[in-house]
Structure 1
Amino acid sequence: MDRNALYQVLDDYLHALDKGDASAVNWSDHPLTSENNVMLERGDGVWQTIDRLGEYQLRFADSQTGGIGYFGTIVEPMEESAFSLRLKVDDDGKVSESEMVIVRNSDSGLVLPNPQFYTKPILEANAQAPSSRAEMERLSNGYFETLELNDGEIHTRFHPDCNRVENGFQSTNAPENAGIIPTTGMGCEEQFRLGFYRYDDRLRARRFPLIDEERGIVMAHGFIDHCGALDRYQLTNGKWVESFIRRPHSFYLAEIFKIDHGMICQIEANFITVPYHMPSPWDAL
């Protein structure tokens, strides 16, 4: 299906979700649906509690595989939450897969303060110098290689102005947030060269189910495991710091990478705390 047709499927799905009516979706005969890494029946979970969709809406698509991606927010009775959605559409235009990540801070083990959800022109624009699908996946996986056991080595390419937003929190080039996380005043590559994320032991179950070549966007899913044993550690600049995470812990994430001119230019991630070493139900399919 072409982009316009895929976006129409997304619009119909979002309209149904906004109304809390899963029966209005054009489902395939045996669709697979998950919310926060747990398989659910159609109409369960957020379908029963949604008040409305938020104003932030980023969409992208993979016409080669029938994949659709969406980053936005969902408003429920208690709060507005960061929201990621991945759909897969079959050859008949029916939704065969729906994977949601909803970052409800009231349920989270790690709350990043003052989330702001806004349109980022770099993510809306087409890539000026597109890369091949294989190269886009390689650069995205290289980001995860850089993050895993972060020792200061870089296994991907960052644009000098690369930015990252996590659960609506600006975590790069934002010195005003340095009192919350010390490295937020730095750029993407500078942070990783420092080796600040040494406490990330493993980035497993990596999937890259959607690659929008025209827009230069890769959507990825995976888990970050922390065994919690690391206490004090030394950065590459010689400074000693203490780990933020001191218990067995895992994040389940949905992440997008904007790639242009062979470099990662923007990162947006939504992640939630899940039981340590929790598996993905999608890996068993």
Structure 2
Amino acid sequence: MKASIHFAISALAALTAGQTPSPPPCDRPCLETLVSDYLTALIAHDPSRLPLAPDVKYVENSQIVPLGTGEWHVATSLGRYRHIFSDPENGQVGAITTLTENGVGIIYVVRLKREAASGLISEIESQITRDAGGFALYENMSVPESVWLQPVAVEDRIPRAKLISQTDKYYAGMERNDPRGNYSFFDRDCNRLEDGLQTTNQKNNASYGHSNDTAFASLGCEAQFQTGFLGFVTRVRDRRYAVVDEERQAVLAMTIFDHNGTVRELPSVNGTSNPIPPYFDVPRTLAASEAFRLRGEEGKLWRIEMTLTEVPYGQRTAFDAGETHDLSGRGTNRSTSAPCDRACLDTLLDNVLAAMLRNDTTSLPLAKGVRYSENGQFLALGDGLWETLQHAAKPGVDDYAARFADPSTQTAGYWGLTREQSTPGVLALRITLANGQISEIEALSVRAEGTGARGGTVTLMRPPLPVEWVGDSLGALDAVFKTNSTGGAVIPPSVVLTAYFNGLEQHSSADVPFTPSCTRRDMGRQLRMACGAQMDGQGTTPNGLFNSTGVVRDRRVLVADASKGVAMVVAMVDYPARVSGTVPRTQMVPSTYMIPQLIKMDNGTISRVEGMIKWMPFGYTSAWAEGKSNSTRLRLH
């Protein structure tokens, strides 16, 4: 009440002086109310209830999306658990809480930034962990452990800078987890929760994570780090200590964990060997929100509460983490003939695949500043597939492999099977030359995902796909994709492909030039109906996607092979999950599908489509589609 009276007096004085009144400082109760108001607005699907800055930035699972989309369409009720961290000094507040979306329980983390000058929310960062089991554990807890909520006397507090530096030691120790490291920053009574489950000092012989180890969770925090067991975390980057709650000596941190797939064995903890789980056959990135409660004059880590979700490998934070990521590759003094004809492009494509298998970039004719991406994320050349690829199908030898070339744009493409450790996949690869050197390499990799021992290989926390590929044989790639078109047919104008993508978006084949006998496969599965009927929604899963998918964006032609009449394309298909009655609730999750495809065209008509589907967080956008490329290849708008 006193703050309100003070603001009223200040406001009157400011108005009398012709000035805009400044809002009062926002203390802990004010920030906690802000979180409560945010969550209430979320389940009401009404962001207009909030005091928003005109340029408010909204991020959901590391994707920048329009406020009011994504979770704002599907959040249905608030859960019981709510753990709030307040930082009045920086105008930041965060919460680990529970919600239901379309009736299914989730763990929801949100951070809000309030501008002191205006009192308006300028940043909203949310992380959604779709773990129904973790939701249930939190609901049973109902409230955070009391030690989190106890204020610490001013004279007993360690300052903000030390709270951050002590917390950072945790991530430095986890990165490649050296068992010989100094982990004395842990309190002797340290405990950790992961998705509501206590994973330290347990005596229930439960296995930890994807592993088969049953001893790790029985150890304390320091003892766990002393095993080196967490060494499969190869990098902890983009560390942000967003909310520092000095009064309660707590920190809410947001970080990115990389697992590059090169660690193949876990140290023995329970006396048995621990081969790396199949989940880590391929490069993975996890976005983590993690809270720390420190105590004592040394500021040791006493309680840890974390939750995470998977994002595409190499995903950058949407907020400045104070790190620079120069991913431009070094060039070599090698080059090809310029221009490079079809035979030259085919040979160069084979050389790139061979170099990836050897993880050797020195043998390639690389331009200075060459860019490499994997599933839309720019990576350092040599990262990602370069470290895990063990097999790539050879055109002319394996049935499911083909090369494509467009000498006019100095672009070549590959489509074929791969294997990383024990995990099969399909790779769509594009290389583009400039002046006889490779300037761009783009890899789209759709891996087989399936449940199984120790968690299988499914992308963590993703919903079921409308069409799954679990690694069963895809058979032979239709020969029409490998042979030259008859009658000298050429690739039709881009209007044909635009019509195709528009048809996907509108679920209508009315303006799409399909041949009457056109067939398509998604993830190796073919419905017994023609392309037009699938697109029109005459089956339960037209196009291998839900009937209710929305915008088809980031439409790009990777390579257009005029001689073969084939275009290798990719697009992002948004699924806002605004459906009811026809789809299982577990599939009613806002998502984006990345769909690399081969499209066969003869005389201006589409006769065959071969496609794969990869799940992405809702709103995902390829870095190439953000105008970050100098490529001259055809684009569709």
Structure 1 length normalisation: TM-score? Answer: 0.91
Cα distance, 1:33–1:237 mapped onto 2, change above 3 Å: same
- Indicate conservation of the 8 Å contact 2:240/2:321, yes or no: no
DSSP 3-state at the match of 2:313:
coil
What do the CA deviations read for 1:89-119 (whole angstroms, capped 9, x no partner)?
012221111100110138xxxxx77851122
The 5 Å alignment of 1:69-108 reads 69-91=94-116, 92-105=118-131
Give the corresponding residue for 1:109. none
Give 2:46's aligned residue. 21
Structure 2 Cα separation of the partners of residues 168 and 74 of structure 1: 14
Q: In structure 2, what is the Cα distance between the partners aligned to 1:247 and 1:90?
A: 41
**Matching of residue 139 in structure 1 with residue 150 in structure 2:** no
Instruction: Verify: 1:160 aligned to 2:188, yes or no.
Output: yes
CA deviation vs aligned residue, 1:169-196 (integer Å, no higher than 9, x gap): 2211222252345211111111111111
CA contact (8 A) 2:183 2:226 kept: no
Contact between 2:241 and 2:253, CA under 8 Å: does it hold in 1?
A: yes
**2:241 aligned with 1:213, yes or no?**
no
Residue number among 51, 60, 84 corresponding to 1:35 in the alignment: 60
2:290 maps to 1:255: yes
What secondary structure does 1:47 align onto?
helix
Match among 93, 116, 123 for residue 137 of structure 2: 116
Larger RCO, structures 1/2 (Cα 8 Å, 6+ apart): 1
**C-alpha distance in structure 1 between counterparts of 2:95 and 2:321, whole Å:** 24
Cα shift at 1:242: 2.0
User: What one-letter code is carried by the residue in structure 2 that aligns with 1:278?
Assistant: Q
> How far 1:258 moved relative to its partner?
0.6
Three-state SS of the structure 2 residue aligned to 1:268 is strand
Residue pairs, 1:193-272, within 5 angstroms:
193-235=226-268, 240-244=273-277, 245-261=280-296, 262-272=299-309
Structure 1: which amino acid aligns with 2:189? Answer: D
> SS state of the match for residue 99, structure 1?
strand
Task: Name the aligned partner's letter for residue 104 of structure 1.
Answer: R
| Offset, 1:156 | 5.7
How far the C-alpha of 1:247 sits from its partner, in A, is 1.5
Task: Report what 1:184 is aligned to.
Answer: 217
Higher deviation after alignment, 45-54 or 71-80 = 71-80
TM-aligned CA deviation for residue 254 of structure 1: 0.9
What does the per-residue CA deviation read over 1:233-259, in whole Å, with 9 as the maximum and x for residues that have no partner?
Answer: 435898642223222101001111111
Q: 1:126 to 1:239 in 2, by over 3 A?
A: farther
Identical positions, percent: 30
CA distance in 2, matches of 1:238, 1:63: 48
Cα–Cα, structure 1 residues 156 and 84, in superposed 2: closer, same or farther, change >3 Å?
farther
1:54 aligns with 2:79: yes
Q: 1:154 to 1:127 in 2, by over 3 A?
A: farther
The more displaced of 1-10 and 210-219 is 1-10
Structure 2 residue aligned with 1:173, among 201, 223, 227?
201
Matched length: 280
Letter in 1 for 2:222: E
Greater mean deviation of Cα atoms: 257-266 or 233-242 = 233-242
SS in 2 for 1:41: coil
Deviation at 1:42, TM superposition (A): 1.2
- The 2-side partners of 1:39 and 1:98 are apart by 10
Cα pair distance change 1:284/1:254, threshold 3 Å: closer
After superposition, the Cα gap between the structure-2 partners of 1:24 and 1:185, relative to the gap in structure 1 and judged at 3 Å, is same
Gaps of 5+ in 1: 107-111
Instruction: Give the 3 Å change call, closer, same or farther, for CA 177–127 of structure 1 in structure 2.
Output: farther
Q: Distance in 2 between matches of 1:19 and 1:62?
A: 26
CA RMSD of aligned residues (A): 2.2
Higher strand share: 1
1:44 aligned onto 2:69: yes
**Is contact 2:135–2:195 with CA below 8 Å preserved after alignment?**
no
CA drift at 1:127: 3.3
Paired residues for 1:2-21 under 5 Å: 2-21=27-46
2:478 match: none
CA contact (8 A) 1:143 1:156 kept: no
Amino acid at match of 2:137: Q
SS in 2 for 1:83: strand
Alpha-carbon distance in structure 1 between the residues aligned to 2:224 and 2:192: 11
| Greater Rg by CA | 2
Question: Does structure 2 conserve the Cα–Cα contact (< 8 Å) formed by 1:50 and 1:74?
Answer: yes
SS in structure 2 opposite 1:136?
helix
| Structure 2 gaps, min length 5 | 1-25, 323-637
SS in 1 for 2:306: strand
Q: Provide the rounded CA distance (Å) in 2 between the counterparts of 1:93 and 1:203.
A: 33
Distance in 2 of aligned mates of 1:177 and 1:20: 43
Q: CA deviation at 1:270?
A: 1.3
1:155, distance to aligned residue in structure 2 (A): 4.8
2-structure distance, mates of 1:5, 1:156:
37
Return the alpha-carbon distance in structure 1 between the equivalents of residues 152 and 184 of structure 2. Answer: 18
For residues 108-155 of structure 1, the C-alpha deviation after alignment (integer angstroms, 9 at most, x for no partner) is xxxx77851122111122236321111100111000011100012135
